[in-house]
Structure 1
Amino acid sequence: MHIHNFSNQNTILNTFISEMRNVNIQKDSMRFRRNIERIGEILGYELSKTLSYKPTTITTPLGVCEIEQIDNDIVLCSILRAGVPLHDGLLNYFDKAENAFISAYRHHKEKPENFEIIVEYLACPSLENKTLILADPMLATGQSMVATFEALKPFGKPKNIHLVCVIAAQEGVDFIENHFDKDTHLWVATVDEKLNEKGYIVPGLGDAGDLAFGEKLQH
């Protein structure tokens, strides 16, 4: 797997990540969503450098010029609900992309640390020979990302796969490396050191879905 970890660089991403982690600033849900969206835009821009391009002739008011434009058929897929702002950020840059949405959540068993990933909703176009961008802000255990990809397989085999995350745990990165093709790209703003006993990223930022959209009732 090709891992693009931007925490190794000093960029404006650090500002957005710090605000998302900060217990005082993250109380502003609108700013929290916007920071995820901005990170999606930046990661989308970096991702775009690896895509295929073809020359296109453009007519201007004063003449013509040739410019290289993206030649990939892109499908953006986000994992609901936390993935929505990240999806929006990517869609701001890949505005001609097709879109897919999938729900995946942790179903906890007797003990809080024991859970399985449940997929209940999926809307997706054909993925055959296309470029799939799979977006989920938090890559913790990696199980949601793998379960989502398994659910997408009936829709065709993508030509290229890009995974986009805001924060990952090293354990989750290691897990998905064993479940995705070696040519898969992972784009992540920062990688944290570990998971706690309940499978949440430490130091992380908390529950991205709750911070973006409000707390949910537990069933």
Structure 2
Amino acid sequence: MKTHNLSKENSILNSFLSELRDVNIQKDAMRFRRNIERIGEILAYEMSKSLTYQSETIQTPLGEHSTKLPKNDIVLCSILRAGIPLHNGLLNYFDQAENAFISAYRQHKENPESFEIVVEYLACPSLENKTLILADPMLATGQSMLATFEALKAFGTPKNIHLISVIGAKPGVDFLKKHFDKNVNLWIGTVDENLNEKGYIVPGLGDAGDLAFGQKLQQ
């Protein structure tokens, strides 16, 4: 798996990431969602450079113009619920993409520090020979990303696979490298070094789903 860490270069992306982390700014849920959406747009733009392009002639009111346009059949799949703002940002740029949605959550056992990933709801078109973009804003342990990808295999074999995240942890990135082949690309806003004992990114930003949509009751 090839990792594209956008924070390694200076850009406006760093401003949006800083606002996501800031405990005072992130109290504004609408701005929090919008910042994730804007980061999704930046990640989409960078990812678009790796797509397949073909020359086409466009008719303008005054003549013809030749340009190169992307030709990938894209399926954009986001992990609910935190993935919704990120999905919107990606969809703003890949507006012709087909869409898939999948739910995945941590189910804790007796030990609150151990969990398994449960996948329930899944709606997906055929993935056969298409470009799959699998998006989850927080890449902590990497288990959610892997579990959802395994669930998507029933819908066909993609030609290309791109993973998209806003913030990740190095252990999660390393975990995915062991399970995805070298042709898979990870596009990520930034990578933090650590996970805490509960598997949350440190320093991270907290629970992206709760910050975007409000706290949920724990089952």
Name the counterpart of 1:174: 174
**Structure 1: tracts of 5 or more residues without a match:** none
Q: Normalized against structure 1, the TM-score is what?
A: 0.99
Residue identity (%): 76
SS in 2 for 1:178: helix
SS in 1 for 2:205: coil
Task: Please list the CA deviations of residues 113-165 of structure 1 after superposition, one character each: whole Å capped at 9, or x if unmatched.
Answer: 11000001000000000000000000000000000000000100000000000
1:31 correspondence with 2:31? yes
Q: Give the 3-state SS of the residue equivalent to 2:104 in structure 1.
A: strand
Aligned-partner Cα distance in 1 for 2:22–2:120: 32
Root mean square deviation of aligned Cα: 0.4
Q: Calculate the TM-score normalised by the size of structure 2.
A: 0.99
Q: 1:160-184 CA deviation, whole Å, 9 max, x = no partner? A: 0000000000000000011112100
SS of corresponding position for 2:100: strand
**Counterparts of 1:69 and 1:191 in 2: how far apart (Å)?**
31
User: Superposed, which structure 2 residues align to 1:179-190 within 5 Å?
Assistant: 179-190=179-190
Secondary structure of 1:116 counterpart: strand
Q: Structure 1: which 4+ aligned runs deviate by more than 4 Å?
A: none
Q: Give distance in 1, aligned partners of 2:44 and 2:143.
A: 23
1:205 is aligned to 205
Total equivalences in the alignment: 219
The yes-or-no answer on 1:40 pairing with 2:40 is yes
Q: Secondary structure at the match of 1:168?
A: strand
Partner of 1:59: 59
Pairwise mapping of residues 1-219 of structure 1 onto structure 2 (< 5 A)? 1-219=1-219
Structure 2 counterpart of 1:128, one-letter code: E
Segments of structure 2 that go 5 or more residues without pairing to the other structure are none
